């Protein structure tokens, strides 16, 4: 009998539904990885564009077709289950088609997971922002995720806070299979957070951090996609989206009021206000910038982010209405029932920069 083929160290699994705009860039960055043995599988999730043709154009990349998801099963989970089935690799990397993997990152990620002795390692990718809407909105969302779900708490085995980002989740296959894998979270819109919760609750160590120097992504390539994506996720990511919307509205009003006071003072309509008004504006805006800077965005975006507060507030409220009132969200042509309010709160209270795309 022929000798069995040796197992690869990492099996990279990429779910892809209508990703012709970014899949090629992702695959180029992955096939050029060095220093570790790996295989790549793209799961075509019933795409209607050139996604499959692009994947098949790369020699050595395995391309599978995802079956139509059964009722109650999220499309991304369904594709990931199909991709991981039968794998014998030591590690499984679940990553999205819109990610870009820096040279040497795959070997570095496995090395970090082994050195930290964890069974699940997840990076929150460095975010690429191009359009004006992305630059003013994305820092706001990620700054609140960092604030509400600090990674240091996620990485503490004694702390119940848990998180993962579905754009980059590396798992030890044996542990993944032992816990039931994505099959156990197939009905969850935030499958990444749910998967990490199972690992942590079962005393399988996890590690989560910002992925600068490892992986980057441009999450949304149009305003419509960004609106649809955050509508799906925000009410699940935050425990009290309406309260958060009120706080961010107040933040916008406070800075705007300080600007008006300064304008009046500079116009000498109220010279008695003078420099105290200017100092007040600088103080409140500095507090805002310090808060935003924790999200790891370019300073050009941080300085503009205040203008995105009205958009952010509207998306928080829109997400709340879709999740709690309409009971359904839409993503990539599929409509899913959203989590009940209690369940959503349970998900969000145990996350940190969770995954944002399903």
Higher pLDDT, 188 or 20: 20
Determine the pLDDT at residue 336: 62
Whether the per-residue pLDDT at 169 is higher than 60: the answer is yes
Contact between residue 93 and residue 40 where contact means Cβ atoms under 8 Å apart: no
Whether the per-residue pLDDT at 273 is higher than 60: the answer is no
- Distance between first and last Cα of the chain: 43
Main-chain dihedrals φ then ψ at residue 144, nearest 5 degrees: -70, -35
Taking the C-alpha atoms of residue 239 and residue 222, their distance in angstroms, rounded to an integer, is: 27
Proportion of the chain above pLDDT 90, given as a percent: 69
Instruction: Tell me what the mean pLDDT of segment 187-209 comes to.
Output: 94
Q: How many CB atoms lie within 10 A of CB 98?
A: 23
Taking the C-alpha atoms of residue 354 and residue 235, their distance in angstroms, rounded to an integer, is: 12
- Per domain, the residue ranges of the chain are 10-132+149-221, 241-348
Strands 168-172, 120-124: pairing is: antiparallel
Taking the C-alpha atoms of residue 34 and residue 30, their distance in angstroms, rounded to an integer, is: 9
Q: Give the full edge-to-edge strand order of the sheet including 99-101.
A: 99-101, 215-217, 126-127
Main-chain dihedrals φ then ψ at residue 170, nearest 5 degrees: -105, 125
Instruction: At 175, list the tokens.
Output: 């542990």
CATH number for region 10-132+149-221: 3.90.550.10
Determine the pLDDT at residue 266: 66
Least confident range from 195-204, 271-280, 317-326: namely: 271-280
Taking the C-alpha atoms of residue 84 and residue 96, their distance in angstroms, rounded to an integer, is: 14
The total number of residues written for the chain in this structure: 358
Taking the C-alpha atoms of residue 213 and residue 217, their distance in angstroms, rounded to an integer, is: 12
Determine the pLDDT at residue 326: 61
Strands 91-95, 10-16: pairing is: parallel
- Please report which confidence band the pLDDT of residue 327 belongs to, taking 50, 70 and 90 as the band edges: low
Contact between residue 262 and residue 278 where contact means Cβ atoms under 8 Å apart: yes
Q: Could you tell me the CA-to-CA distances from 86 to 111, 128, 173 in Å, in that order?
A: 24, 34, 11
38 three-class SS: strand
Determine the pLDDT at residue 198: 96
Q: Could you tell me the CA-to-CA distances from 143 to 29, 134, 272 in Å, in that order?
A: 28, 14, 37
Higher pLDDT, 329 or 113: 113
Contact between residue 322 and residue 163 where contact means Cβ atoms under 8 Å apart: no
pLDDT in tens, 332-350: 666 666 553 333 333 333 3
């Amino acid at each position: 009998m022929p000798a069995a083929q040796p197992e690869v160290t990492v099996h990279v699994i990429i779910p892809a539904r209508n990703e012709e705009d970014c899949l090629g860039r992702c695959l180029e960055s992955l096939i050029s990885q060095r220093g570790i043995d790996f295989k790549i599988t793209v799961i075509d999730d019933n795409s209607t564009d050139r996604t499959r043709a692009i994947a098949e154009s790369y020699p050595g990349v395995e391309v599978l077709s995802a079956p139509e998801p059964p009722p109650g099963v999220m499309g991304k989970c369904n594709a990931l289950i199909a991709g991981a089935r039968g794998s014998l690799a030591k590690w499984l990397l679940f990553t999205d088609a819109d990610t870009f993997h820096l040279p040497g990152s795959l070997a570095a990620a496995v090395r970090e997971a082994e050195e930290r002795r964890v069974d699940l390692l997840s990076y929150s990718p460095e975010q690429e922002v191009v359009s004006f809407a992305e630059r003013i909105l994305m820092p706001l969302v990620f700054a609140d995720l960092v604030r509400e779900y600090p990674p240091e708490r996620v990485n503490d085995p004694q702390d119940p806070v848990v998180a993962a980002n579905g754009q980059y989740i590396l798992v030890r296959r044996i542990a993944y299979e032992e816990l039931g894998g994505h099959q156990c979270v197939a009905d969850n819109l935030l499958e990444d957070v749910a998967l990490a919760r199972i690992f942590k609750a079962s005393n399988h160590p996890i590690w989560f951090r910002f992925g600068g120097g490892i992986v980057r992504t441009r999450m949304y390539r149009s305003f419509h996609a960004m609106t649809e994506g955050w509508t799906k996720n925000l009410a699940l990511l935050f425990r009290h989206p309406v309260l958060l919307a009120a706080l961010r509205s107040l933040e916008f009003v406070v800075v705007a009021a300080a600007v008006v006071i300064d304008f009046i003072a500079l116009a000498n309509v109220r010279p008695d206000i003078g420099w105290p008004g200017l100092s007040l504006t600088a103080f409140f805006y500095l507090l805002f910038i310090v808060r935003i800077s924790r999200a790891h965005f370019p300073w050009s975006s941080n300085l503009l982010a205040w203008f995105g507060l009205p958009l952010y507030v509207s998306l928080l409220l829109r997400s709340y209405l879709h999740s709690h009132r309409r009971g359904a969200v839409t993503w990539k042509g599929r409509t899913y029932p959203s989590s009940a309010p209690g369940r959503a709160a349970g998900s969000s209270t145990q996350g940190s920069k969770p995954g944002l795309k399903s």
